[in-house]
């Protein structure tokens, strides 16, 4: 594992670190420009798919209630 980390991770000091603060390092994963392009494409596809779904006001209200652990209506979680 340490060999993998030494080969694939780049340890850098954060740019936002102020003077006088304790020295800390952040881990930065090294990857290629092709991988960056692929990731951006995947996120764009996910974003486009999410935007294409028509949620409706009632569904959004029900989901908000569900995320706040408030009991929801029977039709929100339909069974198959």
In tens digits, the chain (80 residues) has pLDDT values of 666 666 666 656 555 555 555 556 666 667 788 888 999 999 999 999 988 988 888 888 888 888 898 888 877 766 43
How far apart are alpha carbons 36 and 69 in whole angstroms? 37
Give phi and psi for 70, each to the nearest 5.
-95, 135
pLDDT of residue 78: 65
HSE-up (13 A, CA, CB side) for residue 1: 0
pLDDT of residue 80: 39
pLDDT of residue 56: 84
Contact 14, 26 (CB under 8 A): yes
């Amino acid at each position: 594992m340490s060999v993998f980390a030494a080969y694939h991770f780049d340890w850098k000091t954060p740019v936002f670190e102020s003077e006088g603060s304790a020295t800390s390092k952040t881990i930065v994963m090294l990857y290629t420009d092709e991988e960056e392009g692929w990731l951006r494409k995947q996120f764009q596809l996910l974003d486009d798919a999410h935007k294409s779904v028509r949620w409706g006001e009632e569904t959004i209200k029900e989901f908000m209630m569900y995320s706040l652990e408030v009991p929801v209506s029977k039709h929100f979680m339909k069974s198959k």
